[in-house]
Chains A and B, each alone.
Chain A
Amino acid sequence: TLRLVCTTTAVQRKNAGASGPEKYTEAFIKKQIEEFNLGKRHLANMMGEDPETFTQEDIDRAIAYLFPSGLFDKQARPLMKHPTEVFPEQRKIQWGEDGRPFHFLFYTGKQSYYSLMHETYEKLLNVQKHQDQLIAQDLPLPNEKRNLAGNRWLTKIELEEMLVEKVSDEDYSRFIRLLQKLVALPCTDIEEKYIQKFSKEVPAQLQKVVIEPLQYDEQGVAFSTGEGKRKTASATAVVYDNGTGKITVNGIDILHYFPVLQDREQLLFPFQFLGRIGKHDMVCTVSGGGRSAQAGAIRLASAKALRSFVTEKEVEFMRQAGLLTDDPRVKERKKPGQEGPRRKFTWKKR
């Protein structure tokens, strides 16, 4: 056996397969799992609950009760989780007793990444062969185009997690280019399953937000509610159909509640945008904030209520016009050493 002569710890690169106290052998992890399960049962007995049905949430609550900690960082507080979550996945020793490595690309250094490239290239060759066969038999090539809009490739971090190995930026971009090349060929149906391992769905923004259906009151008039916030003001708006364009705020007509034209314009903007000025009635309640903040809050609330009356395309138009976004601007705090949030004290030369 070779001895490591004059190497400092700084020189030794942290690498998988290197033995030392950081390495977690399989036996060690198994022991940790057994200890965790035993500890879970002890904890359940201590809390007076059934050991069989003691879930991870119960464990977290029990630990927070038994070991209260005022530390700010959540990750610094006492923790009891399953060892597979605590100890990161690491590579075990890559070669057998006789010294021969298990993987045929071991000597390249990045075996998982290069074997992935090898497999993907093999799929590419298969697809090309299939295409050649179809051309040889004079059969028509399938012209279905994949839906590129709803899918994204794996990110670099997700790929690193999948391979349990570090991937550099250029390697990652190379892999993505190879996948794109594979997808660009006409007959990719054979390798769909393989490609789906590396693509994820990205639902469009609108699909996440559920638009509530219209509700009907006693006279059969359709109405819908919306809520909105702006600075410290919060508002709820109820928009009724078959109306004359009357708007009431906290029981008062808008002409009296908002004497300033600018605020009334803000209220009317969603209706003007959709072209429904004289068609809806609105009753709103608002509290908090100032004149302009209340106007903004009611505008947002009414826009959200109007979503139920209108088609999906128009909802997308409203979203792009900025009618449906919460305004995140709040009053900035004053900093010490300055007169206001941005204004510094007067600078005197002497």
Chain B
Amino acid sequence: DDKLLTEPLKHPDFFNVKELFTLKDLFDARVHLGHKKGCRHRFMEPYIFGCRLDQDIIDLDQTMQHLQLALNFTAHVAYRGGIILFVSRKRQFCHLVESTARACGEYAHTRFWQGGLLTNAHVQFGPGVRLPDLLVFLSTLNNVFEPHVAIRDAAKVNIPTVGVVDTNCNPCLITYPIPGNDDSPAAVELYCKLFRMTIIRAKDRRRQSEAVEELR
């Protein structure tokens, strides 16, 4: 059991997430497109490649690195049987995110976030609840273009976060930010596909390793 858990940590890319996406895929899904110059957040300036006709372009090389780290982390969390909660407050992609979560066997929250969900869980749900071990944000802003409450709450309750940050978002409190577009349907579908494939891959790997251990 110990060996099952320590074995993946010895390799930098145990689940081989690099092969799931290429730079061309990201470009075709329009991940590099940001918002206009006026919407730019100060802390996103290191991730921006440049500005063309007032529209910010995100640096896809940095996106590749961040995406690889984030997918690797989610794969490890899924391998160890952690609860992953997909959060997005974009109404267009609510159904897509919920279906992705259902397909992975994980959980989703694309609706109105009640205040005490993470911080007051034992009173809201009942004693003995297990909180999520990872929050994945497909969009860090809520419908009023303010940072989602869940980022701050997750930081309070020591839950790591993975989030797609656009040029108008604040990447500060997110553990694994992924600079990229969160408004185009193509981009969001690409992210959903990538997360779904990593989680399913990690879970299958876990089941295989357990079967191998049992055979011994």
Interface residues of A (CB under 8 A from B): 1-2, 4, 7, 11-13, 15-19, 93-95, 98-101, 104-110, 114, 118, 121-122, 125
Contacts and interface: CB of A to CB of B under 8 A. Distances in A.
B125 A2 contact: no
Nearest to B101: A104
Contacts of A104: 98, 101-102, 105-108
Given A100-B83, A125-B95, A2 B107 contact: no
B81 interface: yes
B38 interface: no
| Among all A-B residue pairs, the 8 with the closest Cβ atoms | A99-B130, A17-B126, A18-B126, A104-B102, A107-B109, A108-B109, A108-B111, A109-B114
SS class, residues of chain A in contact with chain B: loop
Contacts of B108: 104-105
A125 B81 CA distance: 33
Given A107-B85, A107-B117, A95 B129 contact: yes
B215 interface: no
A122 B95 CA distance: 8
B21 to A, nearest CB: 25
Given A98-B81, A109-B114, A118-B95, A12 B123 contact: yes
A2 B123 CA distance: 12
Nearest to A125: B95
A228 to B, nearest CB: 57
Given A19-B127, A98-B81, 13 more contacts: A4-B122, A15-B124, A15-B125, A16-B126, A17-B125, A17-B126, A19-B126, A99-B83, A99-B128, A100-B81, A104-B98, A104-B101, A107-B109
Contacts of B123: 7, 11-13
A11 B101 CA distance: 33
A95 B130 CA distance: 9
12 contacts: A15-B124, A18-B127, A19-B126, A19-B127, A99-B130, A104-B105, A104-B108, A107-B85, A107-B132, A108-B111, A118-B95, A125-B95
B84 to A, nearest CB: 11
Contacts of B83: 99-101
Interface string B118-141: 000011111111101000000000
A149 to B, nearest CB: 32
Contacts of B128: 1, 19, 95, 99
A165 B126 CA distance: 15
A109 B126 contact: no
A113 to B, nearest CB: 9
A13 B128 CA distance: 15
Given A101-B107, A104-B108, A121 B126 contact: no
Given A118-B95, A125-B95, A105 B126 contact: no
B200 to A, nearest CB: 15
Contacts of B109: 105, 107-108
Interface string B165-192: 0000000000000000000000000000
A125 B94 CA distance: 13
A99 B105 CA distance: 14
B66 to A, nearest CB: 25
A106 B111 contact: no
A107 B101 CA distance: 12
Nearest to A122: B95
